[in-house]
Structure 1
Amino acid sequence: MFALNILDYSPIDEGATAREALLQTTELAKSAEALGYHRFWVAEHHQVLSVAGSTPEMLMMHLAASTKKIRIGSGGVMLPHYSPYKVAENFRMLEALHPNRIDLGIGRSPSYRIVNQALNEARRKRLPYFQQVQDLQKFFTDDTDTDHRFQELIATPMAETAPEIWMLGTGGEGAEIAARQGTAFAYAHFAKPSEKGIEVIENYRSGFRPSQLLDEPKVMIAVFAVVGDTAEEAEEIAKAFDLWLLFVESDTPPPYYPSIETAKKRGFSSAELEKVKRNRHRMIIGDAGQVKAEIERIAALYKADEVTVIPNVSGAENRMKGIRLLAQEFDLPSR
């Protein structure tokens, strides 16, 4: 059986504020812990005005202090924008304060051009991604023996435990780096739900090399899930999700997550309906039993060790209800 996790974007519901969204994320994390979920991750999104999750490390500090046992992580830190040394210090600080509870999920999403410019304005060149991952491992293991350009440099605070490193990705290159460097790998099934993903995971497992931080391959898949009391209710909730995805892909997205009522009133054009149809392949929609069955089917295809559910739906009450219904259906060990 696989472990079940949550990844939250901190969506800003229509009529709500960013502060309210972050407080709702806090309550969702507390609920996820009480319901028996294994991990609770938060995202890094820039220039997406409808979500409040821009700096996962800062939010993680708050969430770790607001919970007691659940693992708290980033899904993920976009490593090419940052110094691996500084990222290592941020996460060693988190780990020192909350030992054996911190996950560092790393990715390299290109984001918007203006975001890339703003985050890298003073940098003349970027390190290769592979090198950045190597640097993180060096700083998390206090390795001063292996030849490295910063051989004597130690990331502080030093601690007896280290965060788990998860490479996030949708393609073969990220999985190859994860295998070569001996990190866990999280596949974004919600972004590219295709048979190629199974091949990517198989190649990761077969090419895995043990590291100081991980002995054997570990696979997570992440899915969008819309859960309702009934399949009909889930479908109504999903219509707002359809509209949000259309908004995010548009040139002038509004700074909020549309409500179910807004989605009903607005409707979709024929061109939009084609996009909705494509996006529906990225979601699991239904009552708790239907969603559980589909999660189990997908997890079996990937032979996943863990499944991370992204309950990115309109309404804090719907997000809370969705993870509760799913926890009950999976019979998670509540705390």
Structure 2
Amino acid sequence: MLALNILDYSPIDEGATAREALLQTTQLAQRAEALGYHRFWVAEHHQVFSVAGSTPEMLMMHLATSTKTIRIGSGGVMLPHYSPYKVAENFRMLEALHPNRIDLGIGRSRSYRIVNQALNESKGIKVSYEQQIQDLQKYFTDDKTTEHRFQELIATPITETAPELWLLGTGGESAEIAAANGMAFSYAHFAKPSIAGVEAIDSYRKQFQPSKLMDKPKVMVAVFAVVAETAEQAEEIAKAFDLWLLFIESATPPPYYPSIETAEKRGFSASEQEKVKNNRRRMIVGDAEYVKAEIEKIAARFKADEITIIPSISGADNRMKEIELLAKAFNL
């Protein structure tokens, strides 16, 4: 059976505050748990003032405490900015308090130059991304036998269980790293919906090498979805999302998700309409039955074990309604 998950950015709606956005994320996670979703992940975004999700580990602790059974994860921690040892300690703390419920999704998204500078200005020699991943696995397995530059080092607290380790990516290189290191792989369809993704996942499954943390390949595909009671209502909501995507690519994006009313009043220029057309390839828009059918097609095409929905749309009520409609359509 196809598992359904949610990745939430903690959108700050027009006229709302970051605190309200984070409380809405909490309510969404609680509702997702009640509806039967498998995982609820939160993101790491820097210098994006329209979303409140900047430190997934801290938000995860709050969400895990606010729920009981749903898996809580990061989608993802941008590992090149951080010490794998500290990341391991953060996630072991989460796992110690909420065993068998924590996911560590990691990525290496290229942030704004000023963000990269601020997060890395005190660093000396950089360690490769793959080495960082291998470091994490050492710390999560308490491995002191394999040769390592910090061979005697153990990440605390020591736990009987470990977080699930997922690698996030948009192509072949990330898929190869995930396969070589025995990790689950999450493909960002919402960023790059191409045939190359299918090829990357096929290669991942063929090349997968079991690790101490995972014995067989596991694939997740993440999609932007806009769902409403009717296709017409979904299209109205999608126009506001279209505008947000244009905003975040602009030089001076506003610090909020534009409302449906704002998008309707503003409209789009000819050049913007072309960008909107391209961005629409990254999302599924429609009523629940249509979106369900499209999700099932994507799952079949990518041979996905799980699908992660990103309900990154304007209006907390709209986000809540979306996950309820999809849960009903999939009989969660």
TM-score (ref. length: structure 2)? 1.00
Distance 2:328 2:275 in 1: 33
Distance 1:284 1:99 in 2: 34
SS state at 1:122 partner:
coil
Distance 2:139 2:189 in 1: 30
Deviation of the 1:125 alpha carbon:
2.4
Contact 2:100 2:163 in 1 (8 A): yes
Deviation of the 1:126 alpha carbon:
1.4
Give the structure 2 partner of residue 206 of structure 1.
Answer: 206
Distance 2:264 2:62 in 1: 36
- Percent sequence identity over matched residues? 79
Deviation of the 1:124 alpha carbon:
2.1
Deviation of the 1:223 alpha carbon:
0.2
- 1:286-325 map, 5 Å: 286-325=286-325
Give the structure 2 partner of residue 168 of structure 1.
Answer: 168
Superposed CA RMSD: 0.4
Give the structure 1 partner of residue 127 of structure 2.
Answer: 127
Distance 2:151 2:123 in 1: 23
Give the structure 2 partner of residue 5 of structure 1.
Answer: 5
SS state at 2:238 partner:
helix
Give the structure 1 partner of residue 234 of structure 2.
Answer: 234
Deviation of the 1:76 alpha carbon:
0.1
Amino acid in structure 2 at the alignment position of 1:308:
T
Residues 47-76 of structure 1: CA deviation (Å, up to 9, x unaligned): 000000000000000000000000000000
1:195 aligns with 2:195: yes
Residues 150-206 of structure 1: CA deviation (Å, up to 9, x unaligned): 111000000000000000000111111100000000000010001110000001011
Distance 1:263 1:127 in 2: 44
Distance 1:127 1:151 in 2: 16
SS state at 2:52 partner:
coil
Give the structure 2 partner of residue 246 of structure 1.
Answer: 246
Distance 1:171 1:230 in 2: 34
SS state at 2:284 partner:
strand
Contact 2:172 2:196 in 1 (8 A): no
Give the structure 1 partner of residue 265 of structure 2.
Answer: 265
SS state at 1:156 partner:
coil
- 1:135-150 map, 5 Å: 135-150=135-150
- 1:71-110 map, 5 Å: 71-110=71-110
Give the structure 1 partner of residue 41 of structure 2.
Answer: 41
Deviation of the 1:99 alpha carbon:
0.1
Deviation of the 1:97 alpha carbon:
0.1
Unaligned runs of 5+ in 2: none
SS state at 1:281 partner:
helix
Give the structure 2 partner of residue 216 of structure 1.
Answer: 216
1:256 aligns with 2:268: no
SS state at 2:143 partner:
coil
Count of matched residue pairs? 332
Unaligned runs of 5+ in 1: none
My pick for the range that moved more, 141-150 or 71-80, is: 141-150
